[in-house]
Structure 1
Amino acid sequence: MRLAAALAASVGLAAPALAEKACFISYSGFEEKIAHLDIEICPGAPMKPEEGFCRIGLDGGAVLIYTFRHTDAEPCLARVDRYEFNDFVGRFGATYDKP
Structure 2
Amino acid sequence: MRILLALLLLGAAPAFAEKACFLSYAGFEEKVPHLDLDACPGGAVKPEDGFCRIALSGAEVLIYEFRHGDPEPCLARVDRYAFNDFVARFGTTYTKP
TM-score range, shorter chain: 0.7 to 0.9
1:44 alignment partner, SS class: helix
Aligned partner of 1:27 in structure 2 is: 25
Q: TM-score normalized by structure 1?
A: 0.76
Aligned partner of 1:95 in structure 2 is: 93
Aligned partner of 1:77 in structure 2 is: 75
Cα distance in 1 for partners of 2:93, 2:44 equals: 15
Cα distance in 2 for partners of 1:68, 1:87 equals: 22
Alpha-carbon offset, residue 85 of structure 1 = 0.2
- Unaligned 5+ segments in structure 1 are 1-19
The runs of at least 4 aligned residues of structure 1 exceeding 2 Å deviation read: 45-48
Among 41, 59, 84, which residue is 1:43 paired with?
41
Alpha-carbon offset, residue 78 of structure 1 = 0.1
Tell me the alpha carbon deviations over residues 43-97 of structure 1, each in whole angstroms, 9 at most, x when there is no partner: 0134322200000000100000000000111000000000000000011001121
- Unaligned 5+ segments in structure 2 are 1-17
Q: Which of structures 1 and 2 has the bigger CA Rg? A: 1
Give the number of aligned pairs.
80
The percent of aligned pairs where both chains have the same amino acid is 73
Q: Which amino acid aligns with 1:84?
A: A
